[in-house]
């Protein structure tokens, strides 16, 4: 297994596994994709990124990490773009993170969400299937949302995937498609089902962590779209980047290939509790939350059992909630100061 030494200020990596390996990352301008690219570059990987929109505010561009990657511009919905990237760049490892990631957007516009998340996933899997001489490992980013509403919590990997609302269904389908390609074509794939991921670089302000931090920095009351009692896992983006890489490194093992793994902190809390943590970290206890109770298409309670990841992959999150949130707040302080000019 790969060896890494870590500090709270960052991750210092010594890992020959990734040195020179040709890696394709979809969703590279998203929050998780950005931090995964950083990790891969730090290990000496040759990184190819799929970019739909060259957003200058994305951490991939602000950090200029994109200059150290080979960029393929295109959409997941375009099979030819994906196949060309894999073939011409001689891709060995694929991380499929690309998706329309916002529950509210999916609720308002299900068709483009289905096109990106479902068509995009089977396009990517098929492009990998027709190049078995190249692609040796594929990590698919699923979600705890793929489980839908379950009568018993926490979610375990053997529970059925039964999303009901548009975003949940798109993740259930992505997950099932990956399983199909493994069981039918023996594609070397593994699936990551993560809790709510937070961290610097998330510019989807409707999400609770970046939206709350921005409001507090502006001296405004943070908005809670639900009633505040919805329960979630919150896991730091750097821990998830490491989880994806660990999964890829071990995918050849019989206990890993074709399998799904939950990744989360096993310490669920409700939205009000999360907002209170941020108010305390930012010394903004005087700014009471604005509870609007207008959320649609959201599951009331979700959290994960991560025993399988612990026992098979030897993975555990490194960051506590407070440490992860503190780093995240620091990132947004710098970003929003820069953004304000």
Per-residue pLDDT of the chain (341 residues; tens, 9 = 90+): 444 434 334 444 456 899 999 999 999 999 999 999 999 999 999 999 999 999 999 999 999 999 999 999 999 999 999 999 999 999 999 999 999 988 889 999 999 999 999 999 999 999 999 999 999 999 999 999 999 999 999 999 999 999 999 999 999 999 999 999 999 999 999 999 999 999 999 999 999 999 999 999 999 999 999 999 999 999 999 999 999 999 999 999 999 999 999 999 999 999 999 999 999 999 999 999 999 988 877 888 999 999 999 999 999 999 999 999 999 999 999 999 855 54
Within a domain: 27: yes
Within a domain: 309: yes
Instruction: Give the CATH number, domain containing residue 311.
Output: 3.40.50.720
185 is an active site residue? no
DSSP strand pairing (93-96 vs 137-141): parallel
Q: How many CB atoms lie within 10 A of CB 56?
A: 8
CA distances from 177 to 65, 106, 201, 265, 278 (A): 31, 19, 29, 27, 37
Residue range of the domain that includes 125: 18-202+235-264+302-318
Within a domain: 228: no
Within a domain: 255: yes
Distance CA 118, CA 115 (A): 6
Within a domain: 249: yes
Entry pTM: 0.93
Looking at the 3D structure of the chain, how many domains does it have? 1
Within a domain: 197: yes
- Catalytic residue of the set 167, 181, 182, 198: 167
**Residue-by-residue DSSP string for 70-138:** EEEE--TT-HHHHHHHHHHTT-SEEEE--S---HHHHHH-HHHHHIIIIIHHHHHHHHHHT-TTT--EE
User: Which tokens hold the place of 189?
Assistant: 């794939």
Single out the residue of 299, 260, 311, 301 nearest to residue 157, CA to CA: 260
Within a domain: 12: no
Within a domain: 310: yes
pLDDT at 52 (0 to 100): 94
């Amino acid at each position: 297994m790969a060896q890494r030494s870590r500090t709270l200020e960052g991750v210092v990596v010594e890992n020959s596994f990734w040195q020179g390996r040709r890696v394709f990352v979809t969703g590279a301008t998203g929050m998780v994709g950005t931090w995964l690219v950083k990790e891969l570059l730090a290990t000496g990987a040759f990184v190819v990124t799929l970019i739909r929109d060259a957003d200058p505010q994305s951490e991939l561009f602000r950090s200029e990490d994109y200059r150290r990657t080979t960029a393929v511009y295109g959409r997941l919905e375009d099979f030819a773009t994906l196949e060309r990237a894999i073939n011409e760049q001689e891709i060995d490892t694929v991380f499929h993170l690309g998706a329309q990631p916002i529950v509210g957007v999916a609720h308002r516009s299900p068709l483009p969400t289905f096109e990106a998340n479902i068509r995009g996933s089977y396009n990517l899997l098929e492009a990998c299937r027709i190049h078995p001489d190249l692609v040796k490992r594929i990590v698919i980013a699923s979600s705890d949302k793929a489980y839908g509403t379950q009568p018993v919590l926490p979610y375990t990997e053997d529970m059925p995937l039964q999303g009901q609302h548009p975003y949940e269904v798109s993740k259930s389908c992505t997950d099932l498609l990956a399983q199909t390609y493994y069981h039918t074509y023996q594609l070397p794939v593994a699936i990551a089902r993560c809790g709510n991921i937070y961290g610097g670089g998330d510019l989807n302000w409707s999400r609770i962590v970046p939206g709350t931090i921005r409001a507090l920095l502006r001296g405004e009351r943070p908005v809670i779209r639900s009633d505040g009692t919805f329960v979630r896992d919150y896991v730091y983006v750097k821990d998830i980047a490491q989880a994806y890489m660990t999964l890829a490194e071990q995918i050849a093992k019989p206990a890993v290939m074709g399998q799904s793994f939950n990744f989360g902190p096993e310490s669920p809390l409700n939205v009000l509790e999360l907002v209170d943590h941020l108010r305390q970290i930012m010394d903004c206890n005087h700014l009471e939350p604005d509870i609007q109770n207008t959320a649609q298409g959201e599951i009331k309670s979700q959290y994960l059992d991560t025993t399988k990841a612990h026992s098979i992959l030897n993975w555990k999150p490194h960051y506590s909630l407070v440490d992860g949130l503190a780093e995240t707040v620091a990132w947004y302080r710098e970003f929003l100061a820069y953004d304000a000019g």
